[in-house]
Structure 1
Amino acid sequence: MHGPASPGWLLVALCAATGAYCLLRMRSTVEEQRRTAGGEALMGFGMAVMAVPAAVATPPRGFWFAYAIVFGGAALRALWEARESAHHLHHLMGVGAMAYMAAAMAASPGHHGHGGIPPLTGALVLYFAVYVLWSGMGLVPVAAVATAGGARPVGWGDRPELARVCRLSMAIAMLAMLFAL
């Protein structure tokens, strides 16, 4: 992404940490959580790579085409899974935004942010800004999952409030990346 190096590295660290936690969530005993965590890990690590400051590494144009194909495929999968869960609609927006940013960078590497905000970028910024505000307000402590024999300890991979924080941090990072586009 284009912009100052220090915030770029902070964005890389945030996205990589989020991707790493999502990998940890893939160890959950709940199948739906494992599948969702896998897609979110892809998003986290993909965003980390995309956020590397351009002054450090400027990938070749073909890299952005490959990125657009990978995230376009992830968008098709999220679209297919959206028929089961509303969360997948948000995931569809995220991977769609990644495919869009990769395609924009492939189309004109090094020449972004000039001449106003394109309508699709503006719509994505609006979506993620609303999502950040909405999900930030929803961060309240969640009770431990109870079983018939009482409360069972919840592992790090099964903490719903941490999953929400991951999604919130990725949405904030997406906003930063869209503004840098």
Structure 2
Amino acid sequence: GIVSVVGYGGGVIGRYSDLGDQIPEVEHFHTMRINMPSGWFYSTKALRGLCDVWEKWGSGVTNFHGSTGDIILLGTRSEHLQPCFEELSQLEIPFDIGGSGSDLRTPPACMGPALCEFACYDTLELCHDLTLTYQNELHRPMWPYKFKVKCAGCPNDCVAAKLRADFSIVGTWKDEIKIDQEAVKEYAKWMDIENEV
């Protein structure tokens, strides 16, 4: 059967084992997918809260960012899903369920303008907006397929949008790259280019 939290159709991957009578710990070993913040920036306080809740209600084992960006919480029982979700959503820095199954997956973004000088648009803002706008599609699967959106700030594509998404949003330059030749000359005059290159 399907396992989930009340009001959600996605975000939990149900796993049962036929070895439950031999190894009780694996009888139920459900995975919870949790939304990550744009750019994957966390405070230590948020991580401590998340880990404390997961140690209480699950195995304590995580996979940070899986292959799609969600925080993957590996291994809990059916009866622990709802209390775990409720505690995660009540933290001072709350977490919500991500996407799984045949629906929109949680959209990830590169760190964009927060840490990268190559970002051509604000990936964090767009990713946050997409997540809030399409939250219903994350939580309530309604499609016969999964669909991934990824936000890359520049053609370097650190988030692998072109490779791993159905809809890639990749920032590009609008003009020719401009180089301050005088600044390059000033920098280069202190180098022995023939020996260093």
Do the structures match in fold with TM over 0.5?
no
TM-score by length of 2: 0.23
Q: Which has the higher contact order (CA 8 A, sep 6+)?
A: 1
Task: Answer with 1 or 2: which has the greater Rg.
Answer: 2
Select the structure that is richer in helix.
Answer: 1
Select the structure that is richer in strand.
Answer: 2
